[in-house]
Amino acid sequence: MPPTTPSTRFTFPDDVESWWTCSYTVPESSIDELGHMTAVHYPVAFEEAAVAFLDSLWGSAAPDFVVAETHVTYRHEIVLETSPVLVSVATWLVGRTSFGLHAVIADSEGIGCAYSSMRYVVWDREARSKAPLSRPAREALDRRRG
């Protein structure tokens, strides 16, 4: 097995200030014995922000969708005292049956804490399989590219 090498230093996107943003209050139950938000709670915060972002785009016309992938890069701890945090979201991919979102969490002091890359697949409940993304849904996602 080859030795592992450190990845290049991650930096947050330059244009994150122009992304759609919402506030997220860190639940006390997500704070671990080390005094910071546990790593397993970050995807919850990202997913809640992603759903709010998509609701702001599509409203009641939202298609059903499922999570295909979620990747999280952690950079700085989140402690309860720096809550609420801001979660910024933008589109990075618009495909025929899937779409991708990037998201960043910054604490109340403006420190970038985590970054996520998420991919979703539009879902047909009856067929129990992927479905095409409608033209209006695609256009709404395209307008919010980061």
Domain boundaries in the chain? 19-143
CA-to-CA distance for 37 and 31, rounded, in angstroms? 4
pLDDT of residue 10: 60
The full length of the chain comes to: 146
Cis amide bond preceding 136, omega within 30: no
pLDDT of residue 6: 46
Q: In the predicted model, what is the mean pLDDT of residues 6-15?
A: 66
Burial of 65 (0-12, 13-18, 19+ CB in 10 A): buried
pLDDT of residue 77 exceeding 50, the answer is: yes
CB 37 within 8 A of CB 74: no
Say yes or no: domain 19-143 is CATH 3.10.129.10.
yes
pLDDT of residue 8: 52
Q: Using one digit for the tens of pLDDT, what is the confidence trace for 82-129?
A: 999 999 999 999 999 999 999 999 999 889 999 999 999 999 999 999
Within 10 A of 142 (CB to CB), how many other CB atoms are there? 11
